């Protein structure tokens, strides 16, 4: 397996050839003294001999059909293995759901990004590949962050693409902070990476980014990099800024961030999440209505169980509308404009 990787430099191919497990963990050192560890399928850790104090997790394919982030991560992994890119920080890449990549679907049995923060174990007796993977991914994140001092700067960018088109092509979800201030430097980093729209979540969730933020104090975000396309059909020129900023982060190059300026970003507050209560839930708007489309108070967004689901405040914008989710899960996130932020 080591030989195959160092001949092809293609970690994604290796992962897809072993979608559920690998025979045994792999560990080796590159000639530039970077330690490489592969403890499980889709998990690769790079530790340079000397680092500048950041522990960075970059995850992709938590949804198997969201391919652009997979291509971006695989390209970074390949460059590190070829020693074309010299790391200045510890980094762990996670290819979240290899089986779902094979299927070309968001998930195989259950949405992996609804199973973190312990949710994988909240239904005793219910076992499936996503529940096992969520538990294991939590373990790898825990080991990666806690192997070193808690005072180090912990970062987790969970990279996704969205099902429908968006008025703001790239955006990030800032997980619920429970009174902790938002980080101005992180918002400006994302803006420099082309992610100029930030959604502030209003409550704890079972997403991967919330897990890292809440349990390890990581600067963690779900980052949406555009619309979903099949593997190989992504226009990679749309990710130049994102890749440049991630590369600077990994290599310790000056980030050259601008001072915080609210006019440079679009800030939205998640005001509520509308869950599905009945099987017959359906939206009143079509599939080509973009994320961030706003609707006025009283507008009927959806119908279910003979009832209308209406916009409650003066104006609310939609993001991630999806009626094809199991009963009990989120069908859409509703947004208002964010008020003055508590920043640090």
Ligand X SMILES: O=C(O)CCC(=O)N[C@@H](CCC(=O)O)C(=O)O
Binding site for ligand X (CB under 6 A): 63, 113, 160, 162-163, 173, 205, 207, 209, 222, 320, 322
CB of 340 to ligand X, least distance (A): 23
Is 103 marked as a binding-site residue? no
Q: Give the active site residue among 47, 110, 169, 224.
A: 224
Selection from Zn ion, ligand X, none that 76 binds (CB < 5 to 8 A by kind) is none
Instruction: Find the shortest distance in angstroms from Cβ 268 to Zn ion.
Output: 18
Least distance between ligand X and beta carbon 322 (Å): 5
Binding test (CB under 5 A) with Zn ion, winner from 44, 46, 63, 116: 63
Q: Is 7 annotated as a binding residue?
A: no
By beta carbon distance, the residue nearest Zn ion is: 160
Compute the least distance from the CB of residue 63 to Zn ion, in Å.
4
224 among known catalytic residues = yes
Residue closer to Zn ion by CB (options 66, 214) is 66
For Zn ion, the closer CB: 66 or 130: 66
For the chain, the three-class secondary structure string (H helix, E strand, C coil) is CHHHHHHHCCHHHHHHHCCCCCCCCEEEECCCCCEEEEEECCEEEEECCCCCCEEEEEEECCCCCCHHHHHHHHHHHHHHHCCCCCCCCEEEEEECCHHHHHHCCCCCCCCHHHCCCCHHHCCCCCCCHHHHHHHHHHHHHHHHHHCCCCCCEEEEEEEEEECCCECCCCEEEECCCCCCCECHHHHHHHHHCCCCEEEECCCCCCCHHHHHHHHHCCEEEEEEEEECCCCCCCCHHHHHHHHHHHHHHHHCCCCCCCCCCHHHCEEEEEEEEEECCCCCCEECCCCCCCECCEEECCCEEEEECCEEEECCCCEEEEECCCCCCCCCCEEEEEEEECCCCCEC
Closer to Zn ion by Cβ: residue 15 or 222: 222
From the list ligand X, Zn ion, none, which binds 207 (C-beta under 5 to 8 Å, kind-based)? ligand X
The annotation status of 160 as a binding-site residue, yes or no, is yes
Closer to ligand X by CB, 281 or 320: give it: 320
Answer with the entry of Zn ion, ligand X, none that 163 interacts with (C-beta below 5 to 8 A by kind). ligand X
Binding site for Zn ion (CB under 5 A): 63, 66, 160
Q: Which residues are catalytic?
A: 224
């Amino acid at each position: 397996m080591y030989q195959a990787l160092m001949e092809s430099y293609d970690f994604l191919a290796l992962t897809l050839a072993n979608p559920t497990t690998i025979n045994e963990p792999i560990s080796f050192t590159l000639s530039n003294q970077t330690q490489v560890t592969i403890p499980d399928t889709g998990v690769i850790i790079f530790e340079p001999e000397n680092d500048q104090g950041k522990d960075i997790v970059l995850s992709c394919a938590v949804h198997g059909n969201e391919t652009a982030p997979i291509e971006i991560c695989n390209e970074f992994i390949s460059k590190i293995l070829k020693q074309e890119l010299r790391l200045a920080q510890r980094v762990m890449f996670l290819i979240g759901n290899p089986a779902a990549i094979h299927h070309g679907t968001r998930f195989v049995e259950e949405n992996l990004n609804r199973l973190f923060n312990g949710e994988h174990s909240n239904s005793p007796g219910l076992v499936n590949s996503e529940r096992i993977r969520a538990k294991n991914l939590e373990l790898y994140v825990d080991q990666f962050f806690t192997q070193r001092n808690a005072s180090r700067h912990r970062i987790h960018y969970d990279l996704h693409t969205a099902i429908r088109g968006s008025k703001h092509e790239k955006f990030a979800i800032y997980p619920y902070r429970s009174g902790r201030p938002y980080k101005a430097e992180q918002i400006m980093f994302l803006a420099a990476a082309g992610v100029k729209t930030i959604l502030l979540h209003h409550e704890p969730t079972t997403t991967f980014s919330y897990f890292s933020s809440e349990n390890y104090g990581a600067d963690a975000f779900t980052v949406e990099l555009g619309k979903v396309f099949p593997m190989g059909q992504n226009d990679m020129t749309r990710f130049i800024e994102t890749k440049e900023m991630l590369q600077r982060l990994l290599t310790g190059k000056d980030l050259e961030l601008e001072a915080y300026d609210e006019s440079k970003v679009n800030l939205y507050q998640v005001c509520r999440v509308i869950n599905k209560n009945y099987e017959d839930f359906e939206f009143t708007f079509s599939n080509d209505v973009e994320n961030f489309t706003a609707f006025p108070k009283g507008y009927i967004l959806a119908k279910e169980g003979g009832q209308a689901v209406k916009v409650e405040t003066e104006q609310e914008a939609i993001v991630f509308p999806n009626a094809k989710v199991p009963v009990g899960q989120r069908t859409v996130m509703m947004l208002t404009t964010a008020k003055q932020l508590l920043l640090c």
